[in-house]
Amino acid sequence: MNFTDDQIADIGEEIIRVLKTVYDPEIPVDIYELGLIYDVQISEEADVKIIMTLTTPNCPVAETLPQEVKDKVKAVENVKEVDLELTFEPSWNKDMMSEEAKFELGML
């Protein structure tokens, strides 16, 4: 089944809402506002590809955080498959955080 552009936009909004419920345990800000999500692609069939990073390659949640993201996105209504790609190019840095995240962490 192919979804309309509006339905895909709705799925995308829901995915972002879900991503904002996932937190890096060392930083009290969600991974979306931290800038750890580089890209979310949704096909017409509602297959999702997420490209994300971690704050460091040695992040203590390197094993569990990507799986949590994958599980939560897969639970979004109408999402079929979730392909998660973990990358360290470009390396994450604090400039990738949203203004909201910087404010939350007292960096503004």
Contact of 102 with 46, CB cutoff 8 Å? no
Q: pLDDT at residue 63 above 90?
A: no
List helix spans (H) across the chain: 5-19, 31-34, 65-74, 99-104
Q: What is the pLDDT of residue 56?
A: 86
Interhelix angle 5-19/65-74, rounded to 10 degrees, is 140
Q: What domains are defined for the chain?
A: 5-98 (3.30.300.130)
Residue 37 confidence (pLDDT) above 90: yes
pTM, whole model, 2 decimals? 0.92
